[in-house]
Amino acid sequence: MIFKKKSPGLKDLILKKAMTEIEKLLREIESDGKDLTLIKLKKYQKTHHIDCTCSKCSMANKKNNPRLRGLREYGFKVFVAEEDAEESE
């Protein structure tokens, strides 16, 4: 689904939907018995395959900059890092 970035109403709608999904995910993690004080969020981006020949990927190869590759998906991962809490104490 593609939205125009200029519309503040649509931006608010997208944020509300995203926050609802995040809240569901966090409640699910908590119901599994995980301690949410140890939660970590990590952004990620999945790009097109290295052999892709679309225009964005071709330009990325020419400029030797993988950040310019076409994006398939982006988002974030949520996980509880129990081992990291021990290291920070």
Is the pLDDT assigned to residue 14 strictly greater than 70?
yes
Question: Can you give the pTM of this predicted structure?
Answer: 0.49
- For residue 63, the model assigns a pLDDT of 92
- For residue 35, the model assigns a pLDDT of 80
DSSP codes joined into one string, the chain: ----TT-HHHHHHHHHHHHHHHHHHHHHHHHTT--GGGEEEEEEEEEPPTT--SHHHHHHHHHT-GGGSPEEEEEEEEEE-HHHHHHH-
| pLDDT tens digits along 70-86 | 888 777 777 777 665 44
Please state the domain extents for the chain.
1-33, 35-89
Return the percentage of the chain with pLDDT > 70, whole number.
83
